[in-house]
Amino acid sequence: MEAQNPFQKHEANKMHWEQGSVFSLSWSSDGNLLTASGSREPVRSWRLGRGGHKEGEEHKGLGNDIERLAWCPATQNSHILAAASYDKVVHLWDQRAGSVNTSLNTGKSNVDISWSSSGKYLAVTSREEGLCIFDIAQPQSPVVSAEYDGIINSIRWSTDDQLIFIATHSGTVEVISWPSMDQLTMIPAHAVSCNCIGIDPRGKLLATGSADATMELWNMEDFSLFCTINDYESPLHFTDFSMDGRFVASASDDLEILIHETFSGKLVHRLKLDALTTALAWHPRNLAFAYGSSASVKSTVKSSVSIFL
């Protein structure tokens, strides 16, 4: 039985974008704001509504080299945008004030960030220098600053804030207990680099994408392998679950984004692209996602931010 495809009538809608290659995308928790960073400043947000999207607003106070963006998922702090720069600082942008509220000095070259679901903690990783975790109520210094023996590619929290998942260049996913920071287990996900991970909003599945051109879905209860998906010809770089956990989208170097049904692992939709995907983020309330791309020196295709809905 073929998986149902609710994406057949979806279309890619390009936003106004002049900030170069897209580095990162993030939706506000209510889905009304989409924010993007690129190779040229400033960071830009678009406010979405029934009448479509506005041209967007620029966050000039955030400066250059913003590698990762993440809106706080918790209602009480939903106005806070974390913006991690490569120059060892994470800025907390207050949307209500329209300015940077706090700047966190990590002492490391930041490559990924992840909020806890409660919005109380922010994890920041460096590829080769470990991780920091900040308590947002007292952000002056990290509550955890840990060195790591290896290369970290990505970090995510579990939906109940009890676990932290670290994707490594060696192909494993380390499962860390919070707040003790004890290692509970190590998932032998891939034989080569685990480039990206995604957490099912229902808390049932973990997705891992690898340089071995496969995506794997893992049971969160016992970390057993649920299924392996082999629909790629090149390394995966992004994976993310839909808001209801029914679908998982992924992007590799294949110039397409694939959407699979999580229940069966079957391919539901194939979105053909004309440029490499550099960012991917599902809408938090609808079956839609945003994706960013990078211009190619071998073609006239420009970098862009698009919403597939």
Q: Could you report the per-residue pLDDT of 65-110, keeping only the tens digit for each?
A: 899 999 999 999 999 999 999 888 999 999 999 999 999 999 888 9
Phi, psi dihedrals of residue 250, rounded to the nearest 5°: -150, 150
pLDDT of residue 87: 84
163 occurs within a structural domain: yes
Q: Is 60 exposed, middle or buried (0-12, 13-18, 19+ CB in 10 A)?
A: exposed
**Rounded distance, CA 225 to CA 248, Å?**
16
List the helix and strand counts (H, then E) for the chain.
0, 29
Number of domains forming the structure of the chain: 1
**Rounded distance, CA 241 to CA 76, Å?**
23
160 occurs within a structural domain: yes
243 occurs within a structural domain: yes
Whether the predicted pLDDT of 42 surpasses 70: yes
pTM for this model (two decimals):
0.95
SS (H, E, C) 61-77: HHCCCEEEEEECCCHHH
Higher pLDDT, 143 or 50: 143
156: containing domain: 151-272
Q: Using one digit for the tens of pLDDT, what is the confidence trace for 212-249?
A: 999 999 999 999 999 999 999 999 999 999 999 999 99
pLDDT of residue 170: 97
Phi, psi dihedrals of residue 62, rounded to the nearest 5°: -85, -15
212 occurs within a structural domain: yes
Whether the predicted pLDDT of 114 surpasses 70: yes
71 occurs within a structural domain: no
Q: What separation in angstroms does the CA of 112 have from each of 13, 23, 32?
A: 27, 11, 23
159 occurs within a structural domain: yes
Whether the predicted pLDDT of 51 surpasses 90: no
Task: Specify the pairing of strand 80-85 against strand 89-94.
Answer: antiparallel
Whether the predicted pLDDT of 206 surpasses 60: yes
156: CATH: 2.130.10.10
114 occurs within a structural domain: no
And the tokens for 137?
A: 């109520």
pLDDT of residue 63: 79
207 occurs within a structural domain: yes
